[in-house]
Amino acid sequence: MNSMERIFAAVQWQEVDRLPFILNLTHHGAKVLNLSIREYYSKAEYMVEGQIKLWKKYQDDVVIGISYFASEFKAWGGDVKFFLDGPPNSMRPNLTTPEAIFTAKPPQIDDIPEFTETLKTIRHLKEYFGDKVPIIGGIISPFSFPIMQMGFNKYIELLYQDRNTFNELMKKNMEHAVNWANRQLEAGATMIVYFDPMGSAEMIPPSLYLETGYQIAKRTVAQIKGPVVYHFASSSSQKNLPKLIELPIKGTSISNKDNITECLKIMDKKAALLGNLSGIQLIHTTPNQVIDKLNKIVNNVTPKTGFIVSDHHGEISYFVSDEILTIISQFFHKKF
């Protein structure tokens, strides 16, 4: 089986030759090219070369077509801070008043260099990998994006106190999210990862999620013209799963706090699970501990499908060493 066949068989709970694994190597591309993270994300050529090198080195089952996540915040006029050893991060929120929300305009994709470079990256990766390796696209969900746009505290207050402004913001964020996801699919992305940590029961009560974030997801996912995977970016999803499986998604993440066996049971073969390695824990771990952890995960997956082993955050830490990444790769290529 090639990676494309393996991933799609797993999400449909069909037989696979081995469990698929995804390392979520985003800014590690800079490391293999000896570039700074800022330089790496500045040109499609670098991202393409980085992803190809990483894939050749570790042979995981996808390549990453997207740029850094905070680029969406930048596209909406926000400032981004780059680090030498971690992902770029959004700085001060820029939609902090109802007036700012009502006058904000979603960005034009073709006017944003980060977006055009991302689309170019996806196109080149598609040319290189064809239908053999899935190319991962992704968006920040309209419901979670306000954490950057407004600041977490102001957004929580908005959710509880001002549904009119919340609805306005969701309308604009959904327009952008759908547009951005579909442009990635048109460029050749195989699937869209819908990052929605705000939906986790760790962040808001499930009842509030069902009347807000879930409805937004339902309407957004319905307009995305390709496969969608739901992702909670290392937050727990177990309490959300019973309702999530009613959405037309191909999979969802679980965190290292969630129980694999129980989660698989809830999924009822309707979509796959991704998880649940903690990238942070992989930094100070020994090779034997990693193998133990992988064995535990794999042993909990019965039958041996419907599960993709992955870092639970959606982006593995820059500090995870080549040695550990190699061990994970060898684990899947040599056994099970």
Q: Which residues bind other proteins (CB under 8 A)?
A: 81, 83-87, 89-93, 147, 151-153, 156-157, 159-160, 201-205, 208, 234, 236, 256-257, 278, 280-281, 283-284, 317-319
- Beta strand 228-231 with 191-195: parallel, antiparallel or unpaired? parallel
Beta carbon nearer to other proteins, 205 or 288:
205
Beta carbon nearer to other proteins, 59 or 281:
281
Q: How far is the CB of 313 from other proteins (least distance, A)?
A: 9
In whole angstroms, what is the distance from residue 197 CA to residue 199 CA? Answer: 5
Q: How far is the CB of 158 from other proteins (least distance, A)?
A: 11
* Inter-residue contact 22 to 61 (CB < 8 Å): yes
Residue 90 bridge partners (DSSP)? 80
Beta carbon nearer to other proteins, 52 or 169:
169
Beta carbon nearer to other proteins, 190 or 236:
236
Half-sphere exposure of 214 (CA within 13 A, CB side): 20
**Cβ partners under 8 Å of residue 103, min gap 6:** none
245 burial via Cβ count (<10 Å: 0-12, 13-18, 19+): middle
In whole angstroms, what is the distance from residue 310 CA to residue 8 CA? Answer: 15
Of 245, 250, 313, nearest in space to 276 by CA: 313
Q: How far is the CB of 69 from other proteins (least distance, A)?
A: 12
In whole angstroms, what is the distance from residue 89 CA to residue 182 CA? Answer: 24
Q: Is 262 helix (H, G, I), strand (E, B) or coil?
A: helix
* Structure-block tokens of residue 156: 């929580």
Beta carbon nearer to other proteins, 1 or 156:
156
Q: How far is the CB of 71 from other proteins (least distance, A)?
A: 16
Q: How far is the CB of 209 from other proteins (least distance, A)?
A: 9
Residue 204 to residues 197, 239, 273: CA-CA distances in angstroms? 10, 11, 22
Beta carbon nearer to other proteins, 118 or 256:
256
Judged by phi (left if over 0) then psi (alpha if -120 to 50, else beta), residue 41 lies in: alpha
φ, ψ (nearest 5 deg) of residue 282? -75, -15
Beta carbon nearer to other proteins, 112 or 283:
283
Q: How far is the CB of 153 from other proteins (least distance, A)?
A: 5
* Structure-block tokens of residue 130: 């064809």
Q: How far is the CB of 264 from other proteins (least distance, A)?
A: 20
Q: How far is the CB of 129 from other proteins (least distance, A)?
A: 30
Beta carbon nearer to other proteins, 133 or 294:
294
